[in-house]
Amino acid sequence: MTRRLLLAILAVLLAAKGPALALPRASTATTPIATLERRPETRLVMEAYMPNITKHPAYPRFSGMSLKQLQERDPRITDQTLDRIDAALAAAQAPPSVGTTPIFLLAGSPSTRAVLDSHFPGLVAHPNYPRFRFLSLKELQGFDPRITDAMLAATQSSLDATQAPAAPAP
């Protein structure tokens, strides 16, 4: 049998089993850096916390390591940084939430960016965006009393609607 035929058979068997298996949760302790850079849901986190890591001259040598393993070789990577990255990775792999999802992750996806722009016009263009982009909208509310619980509830409803499965065709 050819490889193409074997792959086709495997695809049919997996499709018959139901939905595809979910990828394991990404973490700084176990997931290789190259995998974090490759997965769409974790790439934004890597770009935010470790910009240009793929351009490092030694990237080919350490891309198979986890960030925790790399920390042993680079003291600039602190436990606090890894904790922040792990929290952002968890948020990136969960449904979007006004309470836990960092604003930069909401701004990084076309569907959630549209929600963000409709409920908070100009937020991403704000001059202080680089300072508050790592906060959730709920955390930002503590710094801006104009953000009400009603605004957050409406935003959450819109975010939930972006995650709802499409209605089946009649």
CA distances from 74 to 25, 78, 110, 148 (A): 24, 9, 35, 43
The pTM score is 0.70
How does pLDDT run along the chain (170 residues), one tens digit per residue?
A: 565 655 556 555 555 444 444 557 889 999 999 999 998 889 999 999 999 999 999 999 999 999 999 999 998 899 999 999 999 999 888 899 999 999 999 998 899 999 999 999 999 999 999 999 999 999 999 999 999 999 999 999 999 998 865 555 55
Q: How far is CA 115 from the centre of its chain?
A: 16
